[in-house]
Chain A
Amino acid sequence: MVGNRLNKETAHQILMAVDDPELAGVSIVDLGMIDQVDVTSSGEIFVRLIPTFTGCPALDFIERQVVQVLKQQGFTRIDVAFSFDIPWSTTRITKKGIASLRQNGIAVPTTPDEDFNWEVNCPYCESLFTSVDNLFGPTACRSILYCHHCKNPFEAMKPIHS
C-alpha cells in the first residue's frame, strides 16, 4: 500500500529536492512554482506547477525532474502539468527562497507599486543605493543591477506585479 506513506505532505517534501536548473540550491517549492499537489486514495499523484515566465525554456526540464524524483520515491502514476491560469509573481517566493537566492547573489525586489516603482537591496551589503543596469538578464526572470555602495554588480528577480 503506497497510500499511507505517500501523501500530500511527503510529496511536497520530495519536490523540495527539485531545483530550478538555472538557480542551483533554490527549489521550485521555494520559488513559489507549486500550484497544487493531490494524491488520490489509490496513490496517483497530480502536480500542478506555475511557470515563472511563459517563455521559460527550463519548463520541460523541470517537468522531467519532478517526474523523476516522484518515481524514485515510489510514486508510479504521476501526472505533472503547468497551469498558466495563475500568474507567477515575486511575492510567491518563500522566505527560505529569498535567503537561498541571496546566497546566489540574486536579490528579490519589493513588489512594484501602481507606477511600477520598486526597490531592491544589494544582496552583498544591503544598501538600497542600487540601480538597474539591464532589465534583461541571463534568464527571463532575472535583471542585472549595480550597487553604488559596494560597487558590485548583482542580479535581481524581475519584479512582477499582477
Chain B
Amino acid sequence: MTIIHTAEEAAKNAEYKNVVTQLLYQLADDDFIVAFRGSEWLGLAPHIEADVAYSSITQNTMGHAAYFYQLLEELGQGPKNKLAHERSANERRNATYLEIKNGDGEYDQDPYYDWALAVIRGFFYETFKRVRLQMLKNCSYVPLTHAANRMLAEQTYHLAYWKMWVNQLQSSSATAKQKLDTRIQEAWNECLDLLQLGDQQEKMIVYQLMPEESLIEKQWIHELSKTLVQVPDRPLQKVFSGRKGEHTKDLEQAIDTLSEVYRLEEHAVW
C-alpha cells in the first residue's frame, strides 16, 4: 500500500486527496455535533460530578473536531474556524443520529432533556469512535494515524464514562431499564448511517483508509455486546444518510445556535 505522509503529498493524487477529504469531513463533523449537543447539557446533568465529567468530555471532543478541521485546512479546504462554523446543514457529513436534540424544549427555555438519550448516544458514539480510530491507526494517511493514536489514548476516558452509566442504569430500577431500552430501540432505528462511509466508500477501501462498512458494523456490535445486557436482534436502520448531506431540522437549529455565538466573536480563539 502507498503511504501518504503529508498534505502536500496527498495533493499529488487528486482522487486520493478527495477521498481523504471526504473521510475527514465525517470525522470532524461527527465530533463537532457531538460536542455541540454535549455543550447544551452544561449545568443540566443529574449531579455536579456528571456535569464536570460531561463538560470535560465535551471540551476534549471539541478539541478533536478542531484537530480534524485543521487537517482539512492543510488539505486546502479553507480556515478551520469557517469549516466548523460557516458550513450549512447540507454540507455537513455527520451521522444524523448524532444531531437529534437532547430532548424536548430548548437550552434557554424549558430544557426537558433526557439523560437516557445522553447515556445511550454517548455510549454508542464513543464505542463507534474507538472502533473507527483503531482502524485509522493503520490507514494510509500518516497525519490521520498520528491523530488516531493520540485520540485513542484520550478517548479511553470518554468511553469508560458512558459504559459506567450504562452498567449502573442497566442494574437499576425498572423505570431506568425501560428508559434505556426506549433509547436503544430508537438508536437502532436511526444510527445505521453512523457506520456508513458515504459516496466514496469503495475508494476509501481501495486507498486503505477504511475497511468495508460490514466490518465496521460487526466490530461495533461486538463491542456493544460486551456491555449491553441485550443487543437488539434485528437489522440496524436509518432515516437519513448524513454521510451524503441529508439531515434533520435539528441540525439547522444546532447550526443557527452555534453560528449566532460565532458571529458575535468571529475572531475569538477556540
* A contact residues vs B (CB 8 Å cutoff): 53-57, 60, 84-89, 116, 133-140, 158, 160-162
* B contact residues vs A (CB 8 Å cutoff): 49, 52-53, 56-57, 59-64, 66-67, 143, 146-147, 149-154, 156-157, 160-161, 269
Given contacts A54-B60, A55-B63, A140-B59, contact A135 B161 (CB under 8 A): yes
Q: How far is the CA of A87 from the CA of B269 in the complex (A)?
A: 23
- CB nearest neighbor in B for A142: B56
A135 close to B160 (CB less than 8 A): yes
Given contacts A116-B156, A135-B161, A136-B57, contact A53 B63 (CB under 8 A): yes
A54 close to B52 (CB less than 8 A): no
A53 close to B154 (CB less than 8 A): yes
A136 close to B53 (CB less than 8 A): yes
A85 close to B59 (CB less than 8 A): no
A136 close to B149 (CB less than 8 A): no
- CB nearest neighbor in A for B150: A87
Q: How far is the CA of A158 from the CA of B150 in the complex (A)?
A: 14
Nearest CB of chain A from residue B64's CB, rounded to whole Å: 6
- CB nearest neighbor in A for B148: A87
The 8 closest A-B CB pairs, nearest first, are A55-B63, A55-B60, A85-B146, A136-B53, A54-B63, A136-B56, A162-B153, A87-B150
Given contacts A53-B63, A60-B269, contact A136 B153 (CB under 8 A): no
B53 close to A84 (CB less than 8 A): no
A135 close to B154 (CB less than 8 A): no
Chain B residues closer than 8 Å to A57, beta-carbon distance: 59
A-B contact pairs, 22 of them (CB 8 A): A53-B60, A53-B154, A54-B63, A55-B60, A55-B64, A84-B67, A85-B143, A85-B150, A86-B146, A133-B49, A134-B49, A134-B53, A135-B160, A136-B53, A136-B57, A136-B157, A137-B52, A137-B56, A139-B56, A158-B157, A160-B154, A162-B149
Chain A residues closer than 8 Å to B61, beta-carbon distance: 55
Chain B residues closer than 8 Å to A86, beta-carbon distance: 146, 150
- CB nearest neighbor in A for B58: A55
- CB nearest neighbor in B for A161: B153
Given contacts A84-B150, A135-B161, A158-B157, contact A54 B64 (CB under 8 A): yes
Chain A residues closer than 8 Å to B62, beta-carbon distance: 55
Chain A residues closer than 8 Å to B147, beta-carbon distance: 84
Chain A residues closer than 8 Å to B56, beta-carbon distance: 136-137, 139-140
| Max count, chain B CB within 10 A of own CB: residue among A60, A84, A88, A134 | A84
Nearest CB of chain B from residue A60's CB, rounded to whole Å: 5
B63 close to A135 (CB less than 8 A): no
A87 close to B52 (CB less than 8 A): no
Nearest CB of chain B from residue A158's CB, rounded to whole Å: 7
Q: How far is the CA of A84 from the CA of B61 in the complex (A)?
A: 15
- CB nearest neighbor in A for B145: A85
B67 close to A54 (CB less than 8 A): yes
- CB nearest neighbor in A for B55: A136
A134 close to B64 (CB less than 8 A): no
B60 close to A89 (CB less than 8 A): no
Chain A residues closer than 8 Å to B156, beta-carbon distance: 116
Q: How far is the CA of A94 from the CA of B152 in the complex (A)?
A: 23
Nearest CB of chain B from residue A62's CB, rounded to whole Å: 12
Contact partner, A136, options B67, B150, B161, Cβ 8 Å: B161
Nearest CB of chain A from residue B18's CB, rounded to whole Å: 23
Nearest CB of chain A from residue B129's CB, rounded to whole Å: 13
